Structure 1
Amino acid sequence: MAKTQRLDIVTPEKVVFSEEIDFIVAPGVDGELGILPEHAPLVTALKVGSLRVQQNGKFFKVAVSGGFMEVKNSRVVVLADTAERADQIDVERAQAAKQRAEQRLGNKSAEIDVARAEIALQKAINRIKAAE
């Protein structure tokens, strides 16, 4: 039997996923990290991106907007600011959020929080890409 590892994806609101998996690729702040069962212990910050998870030979994505990942004893815990499985993403809502962020960035008003608008744009684009 193939070895597996436990994956728990948790946000402040809920547990998004908690099952055995084969493999995960996560968007670490210093690059992508591939984690197999029995990986060496590590803790890393995550950036906005998609987790690519292999379970029973099939891949699925989870859009995350930052957080942390801990790997220890064939268990991966992702503590994410937000996390959403690709099959549950409302693409129309994500596209609307992308348009709003682009409009805010296009408006050169001093009242616009540019950093916040850029993060909103990154999150919306990430959700759209994950859903594809």
Structure 2
Amino acid sequence: MSKVLGLDVGSKTIGVAISDALGWTAQGLKTIYWNEPDFQSVQETFKQLIDDHTIEKAVVGLPKNMDGSIGFRGEASQEFAAFLESTFSLQIVMWDERLTTMAAEKVLLEADVSRSKRKKVIDKMAAVMILQGYLDSQP
């Protein structure tokens, strides 16, 4: 089985998580800094990630509004997912990520991680929660 990427796409950073080969657990991999919507700025980085880890599927967090509607951030995530799908022929799964960043923040606060360290890992942690939620939902 190939590994799965989990992505938390923000306007300045993209949190990246990756599954183990069996698709059971998600681990934080890195935070990529970018200038949305310049997809070309991250194309080489993603090509390397996909090639290095034999990725065939990406789970992209879809930030919905609390009423379930899709706002600007959700549309931006969908555009990024479309870029990944068309550029790298990846299978894309959009995953409802409501509250994942808040949940990640809570975990880090409970672990007594300093504010500056939280800022560095929050996106990666949110990506882990997105990917783990997806992996846990698989039969």
TM-score (norm 1): 0.30
The structure with the greater share of residues assigned to helix is 2
TM-score (norm 2): 0.29
The structure with the greater share of residues assigned to strand is 1
The structure whose Rg is larger is 1
